[in-house]
Amino acid sequence: MQPFVLYNSEQRKKVEFVPRVEGQIDLYVCGMTVYDYCHIGHARTVVAFDYIIRFLRSQGWKVKYVRNITDIDDKIIKRANENGESISELTGRFIDAMNEDFAKLGCLAPDVAPKATDYIDQMQDMIGNLVDKGTAYPSNNGDVYFEVEKFAKYGRLSGRKLEDMQAGASERVDVEVEKKHPFDFVLWKHAKENEPSWASPWGNGRPGWHIECSAMSTCCLGNHFDIHGGGADLTFPHHENEIAQSEASTGEQYVNYWMHAGFINVDGEKMSKSLGNFFTIRDVIEKFHPEVVRYFIVSSHYRSPVNYSDVALKEAKNTLSRFYHSFKTYQAVYGDHLVETLDEAFVERFNAAMRDDFNTPEAIAVLFEINKELNRAVKEENAEQAAIYYATLRHLTNILGLVQQDVDEFLKSDIGQEALGLSPEQIEDLIQQRQDAKKAKEFARADEIRQSLLDQGVVLEDTRQGTVWRRAD
């Protein structure tokens, strides 16, 4: 295993990763609150950590991947009441939908997927420990709060200073009379009518959001683990509060490295239901093949903001189709046999890009170079080189979870046809017309058909085995 660097949000710079246990990486990613279908922003985070995990495992790292499920929350309670269904019915339905959506996007399931309601006892233990240590306090109404002024390092992840936040708190924070400080946050909420609750030393109630992740992550990975990830929107207050309550409770450093995936904007604006530009994963994959959506996400650096639009997805569709057409061209001549020999220079360039904070744009640029060499080798009928480039491209696209569909099935789909503008059947028909024209010595007609196909993005290549076609680079 070679060393790699990642951007640590807490240090605000790229640093070399040093594991707590040699060869092993423990990773916790904040998951979904399951009261609705997952949206394209969720897809960005989950796909990003999926290809990161795939790459690390390909390099020999043993990765334990934990992604939680929040199955008790204000939004969940509100939605269940609106629907007239139980919370377990609502959350069970959307957990199934979430798993289906991420499977369609080619995402590996986490090794552990803890649900908040299964860890109530552990959350209460952590809260009780904080109360005993004097860093949390019960209020008169049964709520329990974390006292931020008791944690000297509060704000270190987000770069905020408590005194600066307090100066404008009246404009940004609802100051509750039970709180000692405007930024004290709730650990335990007292029971309310028509809400689920659990017995506790502070009265019946339910956990706050932040304590859920601290309890689940430390139960699954220990008090101190390697990497904590999530969307950039969770940096403050969620992850900041996780640090405070976890370290105050255990007395240990909570996490060594923090990784955050960037935002997805829609046509240049923040995605929002109120703006009418909110898209679920299901909305998007009705229009675009799931692997096109995955390619759209993979092709941008995980930390960079991404602008979602139909134009961007169509570009992703056309670009992904190029790999499929190259594979089809190769398979038409040489079949689908994979040789064991890879082009090590290309493999190392790909790995080097990924070892540099998982730089997928640079890694994909390497894939396009290999794709170009593959097409050249096929055209020149260099079987040995073509086989090596084909095997290399297969190997590296597998690491990113790309080009995973059956080639013919993908190209026969609406997605593949639209990318070309012509169906495979139409192309094959024109190729046959060209061959008939050549036999009849109507060479001008044959040239006309070749040029017509080229104008529509289809390149013909005459080989000893016959004419094959591919998407123009």
| Known binding-site positions | 30, 213, 238, 242, 273
Annotation: binding site for ATP: 273
Task: DSSP letter for 263, please.
Answer: P
C-alpha–C-alpha distance, residues 218 and 132, integer Å? 19
Residue with tokens 């297969």: 394
CA–CA dist 440, 104 (Å, integer)? 49
- To the nearest 10 degrees (0 to 180), the angle between helices 360-379 and 344-355 is 160
Q: What are the phi and psi torsion angles at 69 (to 5°)?
A: -125, 120
Annotated binding-site members for Zn(2+) = 30, 213, 238, 242
Could you tell me which of 465, 415, 467, 459 has the C-alpha nearest to residue 437? Answer: 467
Task: Tell me the H-state helices in 198-309.
Answer: 209-221, 240-250, 281-287, 290-298
Specify the amino acid at residue 292.
Answer: V
Cis ω on the peptide bond leading into residue 138 (within 30° of 0)?
no
What is the distance between the alpha carbons of residues 70 and 451, in angstroms, rounded to a whole number?
Answer: 57
- Whole-number Å distance between alpha carbons of 215 and 200: 16
CB 258, CB 49: distance < 8 Å = no
458: helix, coil or strand?
A: strand
